[in-house]
Amino acid sequence: MSARHADPLDHPEIALVSAPAAVAGTLLALLAMAVALLLTLIHAGTPAMRMAGAGCLAVVALVSQALFLFRLGLGETQIWKTVALVLVLPLFVVTIGLTDIMFHSLQARTMLEIPLHGGLGP
C-alpha cells in the first residue's frame, strides 16, 4: 500500500517542477496556441498551410510542456512517459488537421445555394 501525502505539493512529481520552468512552459505553450488560433481566425494561407502551421504549433506547445512542466527525458525514470508522448503526437496533429479540414468544408456541405437572379417570382 502506498503512503498518502497530506500536502499535494510534497508529491515527488510536483517537486520536480521549478517555478521558472513552469512559467516558461506555460507561456511558451500559450503563445504557440494563440498564434495557431490567430492563423485560423484570419484564414492565413491555404487550408493545407493552416493545417501544417497549426500542427507544428501544437507540437511546439506539447514539447514545451513536456520539457518544462513534466521534465520528460530519456532517463531511466521517465523513458516510458516520453515514449508514450512521442506515440501520441502524430494522433494530436492528425486531429487538428481533420478539424481544420472539416470546418473548412462545413459551409459548402451545409448551406443551401440561393439563386440571386429572380428565380422565385412568376
pLDDT tens digits, residue range 3-34?
665 777 777 767 777 788 888 888 999 999 99
Domain with 53, as residue range(s), is 17-102
The answer on pLDDT for 1 being more than 50 is no
Task: Copy the grid coordinates of residue 9.
Answer: 505539493
Indicate the SS3 state at residue 45. coil
Q: Is residue 4 part of a domain?
A: no
Would you say residue 87 lies in a domain?
yes
Would residue 117 count as lying in a domain? no
Whether residue 22 is contained in a domain is answered as: yes
Show Cβ contacts of residue 102 under 8 Å, excluding neighbours closer than 6 positions.
Answer: none
Does a structural domain hold residue 5?
no
- CA-based radius of gyration for the chain: 22
pLDDT band at residue 66 using 50, 70 and 90 as cut-offs: confident
pTM check: above 0.85: no
Task: Kindly report the length of the chain.
Answer: 122
**What's the domain count of the chain?**
1
